[in-house]
Amino acid sequence: MIYNPNAELTEEQMQVLSEDEFLEYLDQKAEYLKQFTKPLDTHHLKMYNAASGNVDNVDLKKLKKLGRENESIGFDKEMDMEWKEKKHDMLKRVGVKNVKTHRSQWFD
């Protein structure tokens, strides 16, 4: 079973699937949804760890390291977006009237 975000299965259709097909469908849906997620920062990682009741210094050190890595990944993505916006502004100042940033904006 292949996951299609434009036509998700209904409850009745999911109940008809075998267990292996259902799990495969869920795996594909999770893989699709991962592209829209943002990694957790240090603060939220510590909060979830404390809520689970697993408070240990070794775990906290690992969580801090993982949180710093996640924050740097998020920061890099934000910088890329800011740079794209600045680049478009620079092009408009030079005299370029239409900056086509996405294929859906291409029309002739």
Residue 46 lies in a domain: yes
Checking if the pLDDT of 42 tops 70, the result is yes
Check residues 11 and 91 and name the one with the higher pLDDT. Answer: 11
The reported pTM is: 0.49
Same domain for 82 and 58? yes
Which domain, by its residues, includes 68? 42-94
Same domain for 48 and 31? no
Same domain for 61 and 74? yes
| Total of domains in the chain | 2
Q: What is the token pair recorded at 108?
A: 């002739």
Please tell me the distance from the alpha carbon of residue 23 to that of residue 43, in angstroms, as a whole number: 32
**Closest listed residue to residue 46, CA positions, set 28, 24, 68:** 68
Q: For 74-96, what is the mean pLDDT? A: 75
Q: What pLDDT is recorded for position 25?
A: 92
Residue 105 lies in a domain: no
Same domain for 46 and 33? no
**Closest listed residue to residue 50, CA positions, set 59, 39, 38:** 59
Checking if the pLDDT of 75 tops 70, the result is yes
